[in-house]
Amino acid sequence: MSQIILFALVALTALPTAFGLHPVDVNVLHNFDSGVWAENLAVRANGQILVTRFDTPEVLQLDPTGSKAPTLVASWGSATYMGCLGISEISADIYYVVVSGFLDDNFVLTSGVNSIWEIDMSTFAVSRETGEVVSNATVSKLVDVTTSGFLNGLTALSTSAVLVADSYKGCVYRVDTRTGKYEVVVNDTKMKFDSISEPAVNIGVNGIKIRNGYLYWTNTAVGTLNRIRVSNKGIPSGRSEVVVNNVATADDFTFDSNGVAFITQNFMDELSILHPKWEAAEVIAGSNISTILAGVTAGIFGRLPGDESILYLTTSGAAGSPINGSVTVPATLSWIDTSKIRA
Ligand SMILES: *[C@@H]1O[C@H](CO)[C@@H](O)[C@H](O)[C@H]1NC(C)=O
Ligand SMILES: *[C@@H]1O[C@H](CO)[C@@H](O)[C@H](O)[C@H]1NC(C)=O
Ligand SMILES: *[C@@H]1O[C@H](CO)[C@@H](O)[C@H](O)[C@H]1NC(C)=O
Ligand SMILES: *[C@@H]1O[C@H](CO)[C@@H](O)[C@H](O)[C@H]1NC(C)=O
């Protein structure tokens, strides 16, 4: 449905910019307790949503109906790790997640180490009656990425490798999930936070996704979505390019099946969309004076027949950059119906 509307939109108007999209309604599926920063998410084939917390090292499962309390899937010692970030599925119910060392307010690693862990959800079971976990997920460390600064976005490269963004060093690692061997595969100027003078935040490359032979990434400090051609091993070729430069404080992003990008702008409290034929992104929800999408961190589409047009969104409640300098709200798992996007 969303695809049809967006295609119709582009067919009718060959204009590259400024469609003046109507804001879509943002719905709250779950309000987290105070202090929670919901950072990233993945949707399982059964529709359940895995949410990572950045404020403490935990992964939770939430039901897409919102009818059940979140269930703890995995946790790590909070004396050893600060929080969890990117999460992605690489084969049926096998997830990899970033578990970070301790970062200061400038996102500089001050102690501990950033690591990548495997979460095998195939062993996870919850009682239908009580909601209690009757069998745990199987959680194991893949590797400590000892050379990393601030590991953030993570995406599947194949069934045996992931790519992981280092927001502080401005590069992307490929990590072999069978051996744990890792190496820098992309080290591009457009991934550096300090490629501009006086960056507002020390976060360069953040969200990363592969689509049609390209690696796409956001640069938070620069406010861009970028791309470069990569091989199936993640090795870049040719020149990197800026796809759009009007997505201030871009955090993570996701594509729908037509290649429309949905870009979360954490410190602007906005969600923008970008059709492949547009020259600029357009805001469809939130604003930097509203709590509607306070500190929106990441989005992903549902996988059930009933929720494939639903974009689920994690929010921090603006913990990273309070609205109007002082307003924060509870973090959420929110959603929008992308079939309702209208010019
Ligand atoms: C699951 O793991 C938690 C935390 O280690 C533990 O407290 C709980 O007993 C485990 N549950 C089952 C069913 O093994
Ligand atoms: C990226 O490339 C620059 C310039 O060649 C180099 O100084 C830097 O060490 C590289 N970074 C990584 C993480 O490999
Ligand atoms: C932020 O400030 C603007 C302008 O004063 C005001 O309209 C808006 O309601 C404020 N937002 C919040 C979340 O307090
Ligand atoms: C909101 O963003 C605009 C730029 O788009 C900026 O001029 C303004 O100062 C921001 N307002 C707040 C309250 O952050």
Q: What is the pLDDT of residue 18?
A: 54
Domain assignment of residue 14, yes or no: no
Helix (H) or strand (E) holding 115: strand 115-120
Domain assignment of residue 172, yes or no: yes
DSSP annotation of 266 reads G
* Domain membership of residue 177 as a residue range: 24-340
Q: What is the pLDDT of residue 19?
A: 62
Domain assignment of residue 291, yes or no: yes
Find the 248 Cα to ligand 2 centroid distance in Å: 25
Domain assignment of residue 5, yes or no: no
Encoding tokens for residue 275? 């059709």
The CATH number given to whatever domain includes residue 313 is: 2.120.10.30
Helix (H) or strand (E) holding 335: strand 332-337
Find the 327 Cα to ligand 3 centroid distance in Å: 9
Q: What is the pLDDT of residue 342?
A: 84
Q: Ligand 4, residues 246, 269, 288, 289: which to mutate, most atoms within 8 A of Cβ?
A: 288
Domain assignment of residue 42, yes or no: yes
Find the 260 Cα to ligand 4 centroid distance in Å: 26
Q: Give the chain's domain count.
A: 1
**Hey, how many other C-beta atoms are within 10 angstroms of the C-beta on 18?**
11
Cα(44)–Cα(303) distance, integer angstroms: 7
Domain assignment of residue 305, yes or no: yes
Domain assignment of residue 15, yes or no: no
Chain center to CA of 305: 22
Domain assignment of residue 312, yes or no: yes
* Residues of the chain below pLDDT 70: 1-19
Cα(143)–Cα(145) distance, integer angstroms: 6
Q: What is the pLDDT of residue 20?
A: 76
Q: Ligand 1, residues 61, 133, 135, 139: which to mutate, most atoms within 8 A of Cβ?
A: 133
Q: Which residues line ligand 3 (CB under 6 A)?
A: 289-291, 323-324, 327
